[in-house]
């Protein structure tokens, strides 16, 4: 499992790269300075919502923030046991990073446990284009005022940034892929 201190080191490095104080990141993300400090020191494993807020403020995908900076080189097999992953401490939501940091798109496998609900703030989607592809189980994707029920093989391309919620209200886990690319900026 990805250690909380690896995430903390990346948050601190990204904050430093921008020349931001804790207060500036707190203001930009809506996450308290105390929580950011705990994350950076490896004393807290934040929830998916907090990671989403930090990634939005830093204009990074959640994958970029959660992934190690180095990965397998092209033309090499990366075994499942060596694939970076992170689990939300509140919901058990599991993110497994399929693509490596140098690949042109982020490909992440998500396992959403039975009964789990993972809300994501609109800012999480501000700088990215995202496609959700359900592999197994059922996923209800609450997209602003609309709710879409997706089953194995269904896909959904997320549009304009808005608050979303990923819901598994079934007795079985749901497994889906998320493919993310950075939007071109003007």
Q: What angle do CA 165, 167, 138 make, to 5 degrees?
A: 135
d(CA 23, CA 14): 14
Token pair for residue 26? 């707190």
Q: In the Cβ-directed half-sphere of 64, how many Cα atoms lie within 13 Å?
A: 20
What's the pLDDT score for residue 121? Answer: 85
Q: H/E element holding 50?
A: helix 48-57
Q: H/E element holding 4?
A: helix 4-18
- The stretch 75-86 carries a mean pLDDT of 83
CATH 2.60.120.10 fits 82-182, yes or no: yes
The domain ranges of the chain are 4-66, 82-182
User: Which of 168, 170, 161 is CA-nearest to residue 147?
Assistant: 168
What's the pLDDT score for residue 69? Answer: 59
What's the pLDDT score for residue 72? Answer: 57
d(CA 34, CA 62): 21
pTM summary value? 0.78
Q: H/E element holding 85?
A: strand 85-87
Site of tokens 């269904």: 154
d(CA 8, CA 66): 9
Token pair for residue 49? 């919502």
100-133, pLDDT tens digit by residue? 877 888 899 999 999 999 998 888 887 788 999 9
* CATH architecture for the domain at 4-66: Orthogonal Bundle (1.10)
DSSP classification of residue 170: S
Cα-based distances in Å from 46 to 21, 73, 105? 19, 29, 24
d(CA 77, CA 169): 35
The dihedral of CA 28, 29, 33, 38: what is its sign?
negative
- The stretch 83-95 carries a mean pLDDT of 90
Site of tokens 């075994």: 79
**Between residues 60 and 149, which one has the greater pLDDT?**
149
Band (pLDDT 50/70/90 cuts) for residue 3 is very low
């Amino acid at each position: 499992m990805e250690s909380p201190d690896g995430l903390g080191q990346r948050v601190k490095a990204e904050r430093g790269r921008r020349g931001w104080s804790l207060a500036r990141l707190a203001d930009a993300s809506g996450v308290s300075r105390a929580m950011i400090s705990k994350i950076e020191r490896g004393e807290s494993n934040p929830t998916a919502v907090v990671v989403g807020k930090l990634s939005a403020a830093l204009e990074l995908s959640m994958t970029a923030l959660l992934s190690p900076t180095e990965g397998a080189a092209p033309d090499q097999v990366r075994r499942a046991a060596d694939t970076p992953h992170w689990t939300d401490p509140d919901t058990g939501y599991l993110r497994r990073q399929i693509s490596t940091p140098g690949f042109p798109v982020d490909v992440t496998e998500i396992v959403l446990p039975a009964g789990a609900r993972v809300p994501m703030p609109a800012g999480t989607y501000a700088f990215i284009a995202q496609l959700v592809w359900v592999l197994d189980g059922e996923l209800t994707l609450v997209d602003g005022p609309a709710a879409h029920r997706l089953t194995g093989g269904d896909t959904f391309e997320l549009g304009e940034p808005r608050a979303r919620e990923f819901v598994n209200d079934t007795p079985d886990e749901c497994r889906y892929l998320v493919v993310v690319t950075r939007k071109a900026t003007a």
